[in-house]
Structure 1
Amino acid sequence: MTRLRIDLAYDGGGFFGWARQPDLRTVQGTIEDALHTVLRVSAGDANEPLRLTVAGRTDTGVHASHQVAHLDVSETALARCMGHMNVPVCEALARRLRAVLPADIVIHRIAIAPAGFDARFSALERTYVYRVADRSSEVDPRLRGCVLRVDESLDIAVMNQAAALTIGLHDFGSFATPNPGGTTIREVKTAYWRRVPVSPLVPDELAMDEVYRTPSLESGLLVFTIVADAFARNMVRSLVGSCVKVGSGRKTLDWFAGKMTEPAREGSSGPIAPQGLTLEHIAYPADDQLAARAEAIRAVRTLP
């Protein structure tokens, strides 16, 4: 068997999340169906199942500008996609997938994975970004599918105070749901809010009109960036929702701190709407450290 690394992106608005579900349109299900088609493998073939393993399972409506998955496939099946193309086999597979996949999924690259690579367990960290347009922003309607509109003015300073409390190794049980047999203990490496500066798309020195300036698409938006070794279910959206409540004055910073100190899942710290969230980056160690990383991360984490 050959293990492939697949780098991809998708608009999550039309999917019921990543994971395959019966009778629902999902990212995994859509790509796996396409793989069975282009590699001419029967979906019911128990001897050669085409199943993707992903770095981070995204929920319904959540996007990915850079997702990573791996696929184990026989050399025989892989050779079927070559046809008359005079290109490497991975490029041939990428081209055939692009031809049959819907427009809301994009294959960036397919490559032979290095030894020990596991898209999920070898990952060092994931980066998620959540975009918000508050009352002081002018949201571009073209961004409505990837930006959440909030009809409040948000205090970015106090939101950053809340975000700073998440950095480090913590039990995020107030903001996340564990998988069966899993834990909500995660290590957050970076978490902060910033407002995108309002800047013209065309620099002033090149502008033809001194009055009119076309702003860059994200000018004025509030953007939350969080980097962690891994994320539990609903963790990012729940942290964002709680930060927004603090930033609007509906909840206090002490309330947020209490949720961090005493992890308890309840309604007031539940997830915000999904459309503002995008998985933007996944980092991996050097090739000679991939297997060791995968083995280490499988252990159930505990707090000191």
Structure 2
Amino acid sequence: MQFDHLRRMALFAQVVRYGSFTAAAGAQNVATSVLSAAVSQLEDELGVRLLHRTTRRISLTEVGQSFYEKCVDMLASADAAQEAIAAHSGEIVGRLRITAASDMAENIILPALTPLARIHPRLLLDIQVADQIVDMAAQQIDLSIRSGWMRDSSLVARKLADLHEVLVASPAYLKQAGVPASPDDLRHHRIIGLTRFTDPTTLILKHQNGTSAKINLTPAAMTDSVRMLSEMAMTGYGLARMLAYTAAPALRDGTLVTVLKDWQLPGAGFYAVTLKRELQPQKVNAAIKALADFLAKTTSRQQCR
């Protein structure tokens, strides 16, 4: 097989990965016309149509989907070969594709992995911020970081830490609606529902003395974005259930305050999710270790306060 044919296979895979010729061209720093010509020539060589093209989007044909999966395998093998050589010198190399929700990307992924990237300059962090669960195989994601995860037989989840949750609201909202003194008082309040949760408007609370309570609240608004949840809470839409590290800046400056401090929410697990493989690439294992170490130090500091 000619090297030019392999290059066209690689370019085709990038077009599919980025969802358009324009996006792939920008990512690969080549002209859109070059990508279009490469895919067209590849289709001529194979004698099949790989993509359905419209003015706005592309989609894979049935045979294109099968061929794309083989192209992804080819690129993964090339990456693995490069990483195997580098491993002999203790160097971590290659593109590490990570997906995480916006709050986690900013508050955990970046500070945890920046030192690793500085030690290994040939490691390229490709952080894709997405509040929704993504198809890791289709988008060639190496590592997905989630507070909770969708069960999928093709994925493996490793719990790295337990994340503390808090119930918060803006001072203006509490002034208007009243400060709840007990879980029962919450029945008169409204909550901003985060649709990532199975039941966004239900709170399960546990008191320090072991007493528990389950309360169903009226929704004030709904969102799938943690950033929007925070903004709505600060604006005074209602109560909000938030991870403590996400709420911390607003709690420090007083734009949000904690409600029912003696009662605890269940919390959420922090998971590193990978594709099921016989062996994970060195870059993935290194990233997971860096995240686990960072979270262990962060949790330890919080417990000492």
The TM-score with structure 1 as length reference comes to 0.22
Greater Cα radius of gyration, structure 1 or 2: 2
Greater per-residue helix proportion:
2
Higher relative contact order structure (alpha carbons within 8 Å, sequence separation ≥ 6): 1
